[in-house]
Amino acid sequence: MTIQQSTETLKQSATPQAAPGAPTFKSRHPETQALHGGSFRFDPTTGAVAVPIYQTTYQLLGTEGADKLFALEAAGHLYTRVSNPTQDAFEQRLAELEGGAAALAVSSGQAASAFAILNVARAGDNVVSAAGLYGGTWALFAATLKSFGVETRFVDAADPEAFARATDDRTRAYYAEALPNPKLEVFPIAEVAAIGRRFGIPLIVDNTAAPVIIRPLDHGAAIIVYSATKYIGGHGTSIGGAIVDGGNFPWAEVRERQPNINEPDPSYQGKTWVEKAEAIAFQLIQGLETLPLRLRQHNENAIKIADYLKAHPNVSNVVFPKFQRGVAAERAAKYFKSGSYGALVGFELKGGREAGRRFIDALQLFYHIANIGDARSLAIHPSTTTHSQLSAEDQLATGVTPGYVRLSIGIEHPDDLIADLAQAIDAA
């Protein structure tokens, strides 16, 4: 093969996602999108169907080609911190699954929420966030971003108008979790997104606990963030995160409200981002491919287990969207895909804190793990673990009572899960 011939081959294979034979078939079903979404069909050089791990730098195709790439006038890969074909395939597939315009894979869920905020807020700006947050996100907002000069104003999501009341002319984003645990009350996405749009403020939704079964972009959210460590990876083997842009927010029409996106960026040749909008990922792709299938089993199992706990004489309280009343029940019915309530189940034993701890120690099948969304079933006592960095008062504000136990229901046979819970409750 001559150098010219190999350069031609290289040019053709430089963007495997645009392979000849790339599918034109587009599905709206999540089960199919998770396997076939995005433009990757197979690697044109090798025929590989599983997205290969491209752990590499890239040969720039001529100086003119390089000029265009660096000026962001041509699509392509120039350096893996900026983009990478394996990540690109994951990002495209996730964006399609969510009904978004594009996605960015990052190193963790924590990085996804930090980047989503830092993209729009500078020192002196503020964000209004629902108070019901994962403890690590709470700490990121209340302490780390605060030290950068970005203030977070925490409000009670039960009242959507609280977001409007906390807004001033330096508010750049609204933030919430779609299914915040431990309370498991679905966030009023459409209501708060509409308030934000009145002011030119995007709603960022952390959908970690409800992929596939809640679709925030359909209800007006502008951006979704994920800890892909959870259901997307699905096996607790990889830390990862993602930001999905809905492509549905009028950034250019809200110039004064959103200066970061609309003013020239001195860190990249004075580009204005509103005009440029366009290896762990390998592991996460494996998880993503079976995500809708797993979610179905997670959901079915969770309903059986929540029903079992609710009927158990030693259990004083079960937190599960199926049992909610009033506004919380209306929101669950509005936002969950029909028949789904997610797979997080919270409960309290009549024996309180000590019984909760004895229960955890007695489990034989459930793992005692600080995670959610694993194919395996997991249990934890939040007050002494995930939420231990919060004061007793803040714990109660986020819904963590001293005896509360959180289960993340996996995809094992439900009878085995119930048998393990039964013996551990007896032992508590």
Contact (Cβ atoms closer than 8 angstroms) between residue 97 and residue 218: no
Contact (Cβ atoms closer than 8 angstroms) between residue 233 and residue 211: no
Residue nearest to ligand PLP (CB): 109
What's the rounded Cα separation, in Å, for the pair 255 and 236? 41
The single residue among 177, 289, 348, 420 that binds ligand PLP, judged by CB under 6 A, is 177
Q: Which residues pair with 221 in a beta bridge?
A: none
Residue with tokens 């752990």: 55
Contact (Cβ atoms closer than 8 angstroms) between residue 387 and residue 398: yes
Between 39 and 384, name the residue whose CB sits nearer to ligand PLP.
Answer: 384
- What single DSSP character describes residue 61? -
Q: How far is the CB of 428 from ligand PLP (least distance, A)?
A: 25
Q: Does 206 bind ligand PLP (CB under 6 A)?
A: yes
Q: Does 398 bind ligand PLP (CB under 6 A)?
A: no
302 sits in which H/E element? helix 291-311
Among the residue ranges 105-113, 216-224, 251-259, 272-280, the one whose residues contact ligand PLP (CB under 6 A): 105-113
Q: Does 400 bind ligand PLP (CB under 6 A)?
A: no
Among the residue ranges 29-37, 117-125, 201-209, 258-266, the one whose residues contact ligand PLP (CB under 6 A): 201-209
**Other C-beta atoms lying within 10 Å of the C-beta of residue 105:** 26
Q: How far is the CB of 132 from ligand PLP (least distance, A)?
A: 10
Contact code string over 263-302 relative to ligand PLP, x by CB under 6 A: ----------------------------------------
Contact code string over 360-379 relative to ligand PLP, x by CB under 6 A: ------------x-------
Give, in order, the Cα–Cα distances in Å from 422 to each of 25, 58, 315, 317, 418.
Answer: 48, 56, 11, 16, 6
Q: Does 239 bind ligand PLP (CB under 6 A)?
A: yes
103 sits in which H/E element? strand 102-106
Between 86 and 208, name the residue whose CB sits nearer to ligand PLP.
Answer: 208
Pairing of strands 404-408, 378-380: antiparallel
The single residue among 23, 136, 200, 351 that binds ligand PLP, judged by CB under 6 A, is 136
Give buried/exposed letters for 219-258 (b at 16+ CB in 10 A, else e): bbbbbbbbbbbbbbbbebebbbbbbbbbebbebeebeebb
Helices (H), 314-413: 326-335, 352-362, 392-397
Between 209 and 217, name the residue whose CB sits nearer to ligand PLP.
Answer: 209
Among the residue ranges 29-37, 47-55, 206-214, 332-340, the one whose residues contact ligand PLP (CB under 6 A): 206-214
Q: Does 13 bind ligand PLP (CB under 6 A)?
A: no
Q: Does 227 bind ligand PLP (CB under 6 A)?
A: yes
Give, in order, the Cα–Cα distances in Å from 338 to each of 30, 33, 36, 215, 335.
Answer: 14, 19, 24, 12, 9
Between 43 and 245, name the residue whose CB sits nearer to ligand PLP.
Answer: 245
Backbone φ, ψ for residue 121 (5° rounding): -115, 140
Q: How far is the CB of 285 from ligand PLP (least distance, A)?
A: 16
Between 178 and 425, name the residue whose CB sits nearer to ligand PLP.
Answer: 178
Size of the site for ligand PLP (CB under 6 A): 15
Between 52 and 136, name the residue whose CB sits nearer to ligand PLP.
Answer: 136
With CA atoms as reference, report the closest residue to 80 among 41, 61, 54, 119. Answer: 54
The single residue among 108, 297, 314, 401 that binds ligand PLP, judged by CB under 6 A, is 108
Q: How far is the CB of 209 from ligand PLP (least distance, A)?
A: 6
Q: Which residues pair with 347 in a beta bridge?
A: 318, 405
Length of the chain: 428
Query: Token digits for 113?
Result: 């929420």
Between 220 and 373, name the residue whose CB sits nearer to ligand PLP.
Answer: 373
The single residue among 204, 209, 217, 390 that binds ligand PLP, judged by CB under 6 A, is 209
The single residue among 84, 87, 129, 229 that binds ligand PLP, judged by CB under 6 A, is 229
The single residue among 44, 220, 241, 287 that binds ligand PLP, judged by CB under 6 A, is 241
Q: Which residues bind ligand PLP (CB under 6 A)?
A: 108-110, 134, 136-137, 177, 206, 208-209, 227, 229, 239, 241, 372
